[in-house]
C-alpha cells in the first residue's frame, strides 16, 4: 500500500472514531487528499460539489421524501396499519405479522428505512407491548422490518445506484419485489411459530366479513398509492422518475380532500420539513461524491480491481467476500455514502465474474439496508431504542433473529440470481 493511501485511510478512520458525521468525514478526507497528494487545484473539488447536485435522479429522491412526509402527517399510515391488522392480527403472533406487512406497504411508497421506522415504530411498538408481546420480540421486529423501505421499490438506495451505474431504474425496482416478499413471509412464519403455543399475549378476535370489507374500503385510497405508482411505471403511463411527482400529487389530493386529515395551512410545514430532510440528504451526497472524485483521480477503484482479480477467481468466493465487506461497511456508513463510493469500486469487477450489474445493485442495497440495524451506526437501533427507552446493547440483541432471516434471504438471492432477475427479464429490462 502506498503511503498516501495509508494516510487517507487513517484520516477517514480517525474522523469516524471521533464521531464526526460521515458526510464531514468524507468531505474533509477528500480535501486533505486533494491538498496533500494531488497537483490539482481545490477548485476541482468545488466543481465536483456542484456537479454532485446537478443530477436529475436526485429530484426523484426529493419527491419521494415529500410523499412520505405527506402520508406521515396524514392518516395514510394509520389506515395501512388497520388493513394489515384486519388481515392477519387474529393469527398467533398476528399483530407482529401486521407490523411487518404494514412496513412493506409503507415502504412501497416512501422508499426510506428511516421514514418507515419513524412512521410505524411510534405506533406499533407501544401497541405490541400493550397486547402482551415480548419487548425484545417487538423491538427486534420493528427495528428490522422497516428495512423493507429500501428493499421494496421505490427505493432511494436503488435510485442512487442507477445514477452511478446507468442500469434501468424500472428494472432494478422489479428486482426488489421478490426479496421483499420473502422477508415478509419468513418474518410472518417466524412470528407464527414463536407465538403458536404461547398464551401470554392478547390474541385478536377473527374479524367478520363486514369488518374486513369496511376496513379495506376505509383504506382503499391508501392502498391505491402503490398501485398507481407501480401500475403507472410498468404500464408505460409514466416513467419511474415521473412516478415520484405523481405520488406526491396523489398523496396531497387524498389527504386534503378525501381523508381530510391535513389542512392547506399544513402544506407549508410539510414542504419545509421535506426540504430540510432533502438538504441533509444532499449534503451527504455532496460529501460522498467529493470523496469518490478523489478515489477516481487516484485510480483507486482500478487498483482495487487488479488486486481482487489477481487473488480471487471464483465467483462464489467473490460474492461471499463482497457480502461480508458490505455488511461491515453498513455498520459504519449510511446507504447513500456507501452506494456512491462503493458502487464505482465494484462495478468494474462484475464482468470478470459474469455478475449482472442489476443483480449487484440489489445485493448492495440489501446489505446496506441491514446496516440500519447493526451497531455502532445503525440508525434504526437508536430510533426504536428511544421509543422503548432501551439502550443500544439491548436493541442490538433483540434484532438478531430477524437479522438472521434477512441475511438468509440475502444469501439465497446472492447465489440464485434468477430468483430476482426473472421479473426484469419478463418485462424486457434485461438483454
pLDDT digits (tens, 9 = 90+) for 396-418: 999 999 999 999 999 999 999 99
pLDDT value at 290 more than 70? yes
Q: Which tops the pLDDT comparison, 266 or 203?
A: 266
Mean pLDDT on 285-301: 83
pLDDT classification of 431: cutoffs 50, 70, 90: low
pLDDT value at 281 more than 70? yes
Interval 59-80: pLDDT, tens = 888 888 898 889 888 888 889 8
End-to-end Cα spacing for the chain:
39
pLDDT classification of 98: cutoffs 50, 70, 90: very high
pLDDT classification of 99: cutoffs 50, 70, 90: very high
pLDDT value at 83 more than 70? yes
315 vs 116: CA distance, rounded Å: 35
Report domain extents, the chain.
42-426
326 vs 175: CA distance, rounded Å: 19
- Give per-residue burial for 150-177: e unless 16+ CB within 10 Å, then b: bbbbbbbbbbbbbbbbebbbbbbbbbbb
Mean pLDDT on 325-329: 91
43 vs 37: CA distance, rounded Å: 15
Omega cis (within 30) before 239: no
Burial of 364 (0-12, 13-18, 19+ CB in 10 A): buried
Phi, psi of 85 (to 5 degrees): -60, -45
pTM of the model: 0.90
Interval 172-212: pLDDT, tens = 999 999 999 999 999 999 999 999 988 888 888 888 889 99
Q: Is 181 left (phi over 0), alpha (psi -120 to 50) or beta?
A: alpha
CA angle 261, 184, 118 (to 5 degrees): 40
Q: For the chain, give the mean pLDDT.
A: 89
226 vs 231: CA distance, rounded Å: 8
- Orientation of helix 220-235 relative to helix 240-253, angle to 10°: 160
DSSP structure class, residue 373: G
Closest CA to 22 of 310, 329, 403: 329
DSSP structure class, residue 205: P
Torsion sign (Cα): 69, 140, 180, 184: negative
What pLDDT sits at residue 234?
83
Mean pLDDT on 133-147: 95
Amino acid at each position: 500500500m502506498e503511503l498516501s493511501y495509508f494516510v487517507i485511510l487513517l484520516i477517514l478512520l480517525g474522523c469516524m472514531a471521533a464521531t464526526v458525521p460521515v458526510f464531514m468525514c468524507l468531505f474533509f478526507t477528500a480535501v486533505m487528499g486533494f491538498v496533500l497528494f494531488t497537483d490539482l487545484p481545490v477548485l476541482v473539488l468545488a466543481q465536483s460539489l456542484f456537479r454532485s447536485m446537478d443530477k436529475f435522479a436526485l429530484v426523484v429522491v426529493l419527491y419521494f421524501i415529500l410523499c412520505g412526509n405527506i402520508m406521515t402527517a396524514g392518516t395514510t399510515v394509520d389506515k395501512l396499519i388497520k388493513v394489515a391488522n384486519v388481515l392477519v392480527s387474529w393469527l398467533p403472533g398476528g399483530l407482529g405479522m401486521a407490523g411487518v406487512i404494514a412496513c412493506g406497504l409503507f415502504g412501497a411508497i416512501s422508499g426510506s428505512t428511516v421514514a418507515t421506522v419513524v412512521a410505524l415504530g411510534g405506533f406499533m411498538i407501544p401497541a405490541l407491548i400493550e397486547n402482551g408481546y415480548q419487548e425484545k420480540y417487538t423491538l427486534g421486529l420493528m427495528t428490522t422490518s422497516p428495512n423493507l423501505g429500501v428493499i421494496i421499490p421505490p427505493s432511494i438506495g436503488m435510485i442512487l445506484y442507477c445514477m452511478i451505474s446507468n442500469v434501468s431504474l424500472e428494472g432494478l425496482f422489479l428486482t426488489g419485489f421478490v426479496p421483499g416478499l420473502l422477508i415478509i413471509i419468513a418474518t410472518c412464519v417466524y412470528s407464527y411459530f414463536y407465538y403458536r403455543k404461547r398464551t401470554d399475549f392478547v390474541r385478536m378476535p377473527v374479524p367478520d366479513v363486514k369488518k374486513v370489507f369496511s376496513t379495506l374500503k376505509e383504506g382503499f385510497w391508501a392502498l391505491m398509492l402503490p398501485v398507481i405508482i407501480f401500475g403507472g411505471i410498468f404500464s408505460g403511463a409514466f416513467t419511474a422518475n415521473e412516478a415520484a411527482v405523481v405520488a406526491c400529487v396523489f398523496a396531497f389530493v387524498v389527504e386534503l380532500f378525501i381523508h381530510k386529515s391535513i389542512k392547506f395551512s399544513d402544506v407549508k410545514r410539510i414542504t419545509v420539513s421535506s426540504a430540510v430532510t432533502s438538504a441533509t440528504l444532499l449534503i451527504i451526497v455532496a460529501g460522498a461524491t467529493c470523496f469518490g472524485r478523489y478515489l477516481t483521480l487516484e485510480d483507486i477503484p482500478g487498483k482495487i480491481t487488479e488486486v481482487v482479480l489477481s487473488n480471487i477467481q471464483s465467483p462464489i468466493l467473490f460474492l461471499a467476500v463482497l457480502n461480508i465487506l458490505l455488511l461491515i461497511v453498513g455498520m459504519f456508513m449510511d446507504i447513500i455514502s456507501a452506494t456512491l463510493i462503493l458502487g464505482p469500486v465494484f462495478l468494474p469487477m462484475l464482468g470478470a465474474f459474469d455478475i449482472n450489474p442489476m443483480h449487484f445493485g440489489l445485493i448492495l442495497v440489501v446489505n446496506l439496508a441491514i446496516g440500519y440495524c447493526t451497531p455502532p451506526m445503525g440508525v434504526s437501533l437508536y430510533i426504536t431504542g428511544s421509543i422503548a427507552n432501551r439502550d443500544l446493547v439491548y436493541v442490538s440483541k433483540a434484532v438478531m433473529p430477524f437479522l438472521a432471516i434477512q441475511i438468509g434471504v440475502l444469501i439465497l438471492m446472492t447465489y440464485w440470481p434468477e430468483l430476482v432477475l426473472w421479473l426484469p427479464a419478463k418485462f424486457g429490462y434485461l438483454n
